[in-house]
Amino acid sequence: MSYNANLPSDLPSDYSAEIRENFRALKEDQIVAAASAVTADSATTAASCTGNSATASKLATARTIRLTGDVTGSGIFDGSGDLAIATTGVEAAKLTNARTIVLTGAVTGSGSFDGSGDLSITTSAGTVVHGKQMLTSSGTFTVPAGVTTIYVSAISGGGGGGGGCFAGSTTTQGAGGGGGGAGQFILYTPKTVIAGENLTITIGSGGAGGASASTVGSGGSDGSSGGNTVISANSSGWTITLSSTNGGGGAYLSNGALWGGIGVGGGGSGWSINDFNNVATGTGNSVAYGGKGADSPFGVGGSGSVGKCVNKSGTSASAGNGYGAGGGGASCSSSSGGSGALGMILVEW
């Protein structure tokens, strides 16, 4: 850098080079000092600056941040740290959209609810389909409208009682037939059906009583079996079959001895007392007892006959009572065992 232009004009031309160099150095020192003064002045200016600032560690005036609406809350924020605001939910006075509440089934009703007050619903009894029907003869049953499930109770026919018999050269000896058995049954069994379909119904008949022996030395006849009870739902695809039950056994003679008929299906066996084995001499007098017919859930078994064989006096065997019960067994005084009771079907919905 040349400073010759800044030297005084009246310096001699032969002014020494050393003086010129000293003058140059002096000028450089003045420039450096001037720069330092500018730096110091800048720092002083920044410290005393007013108005907006490019950066700051916190706000000059703290501000309130406030939440409004469904959630409320507020907090003071000056920038010196993070702000956490405790909030409070605001409960709505009512729903934006009212809703309909509907009752269905056994009780019906409806009402509009928007939350602005309590709701009272006026109710009425719905359509409830209930009923029952007992079927005691074969045919059809039509499922009522609105019914999709039925509950079936049913029984087959009861067996007839067995016949009595005589033995020896006189009619003083005899024995009773066995009681008939009760029918096979079901109770309150649920089955799926289709409203309006026809169910095919078959009711089992009661078994006939066995005939008592009409001649000395012959055995009584067995009672007849009861009939099957069947219910079929072809459209729904199911069938229930309740099988027949056996009749009571007839009284019989074996190796000179009289034996009461065997009761079946819960029926009592026939028997006799007082010399019922004394066939060879033909003396004495037997009292023969027919077995009682078996009871069922829907009926009572018939009573067995009680009779004196010497003169065939006494009671008659009784038929089964109600549904599906067995007939009573015959004795000397009864010409045949009692018949079994017929079956039945009870449909409930």
Spatial separation of the C-alpha atoms in residues 319 and 344, rounded to whole Å: 16
The partner residues of 287 in beta bridges, in order of sequence, read: 273, 308
Spatial separation of the C-alpha atoms in residues 135 and 345, rounded to whole Å: 5
pLDDT at 345 over 50: yes
Most confident of 26-35, 97-106, 282-291: 97-106
Lookup: tokens for 183: 């029918």
Residue 53: pLDDT band by 50, 70, 90 thresholds? low
pLDDT (average), residues 153-163: 96
pLDDT (average), residues 144-162: 96
Q: Quick one: pLDDT at residue 278?
A: 43
Q: Per-domain residue ranges for the chain?
A: 64-93, 95-128, 129-349
- C-alpha gyration radius of the chain: 59
Question: Do residues 274 and 185 lie in contact, with contact meaning Cβ atoms separated by under 8 Å?
Answer: no
CA dist 87 → 72, 83, 84, 310 (Å): 5, 13, 9, 110
CA dist 121 → 117, 118, 254, 261 (Å): 13, 10, 82, 70
Q: Specify the higher pLDDT residue, 135 or 289.
A: 135
Q: Quick one: pLDDT at residue 283?
A: 46
Lookup: tokens for 150: 């039925």
Question: Do residues 209 and 338 lie in contact, with contact meaning Cβ atoms separated by under 8 Å?
Answer: yes
Three-state DSSP at 161 gives coil
pLDDT (average), residues 20-43: 61
**Cα four-point dihedral sign 104, 110, 112, 115:** negative
Spatial separation of the C-alpha atoms in residues 86 and 181, rounded to whole Å: 85
pLDDT in tens, 240-297: 999 988 999 988 877 666 677 887 777 778 776 654 444 444 445 678 889 999 999 9
pLDDT in tens, 318-335: 999 999 999 999 987 778
pLDDT (average), residues 232-246: 95
Spatial separation of the C-alpha atoms in residues 193 and 148, rounded to whole Å: 5
Q: Quick one: pLDDT at residue 126?
A: 64
- pTM of the prediction? 0.62
pLDDT at 170 over 60: no
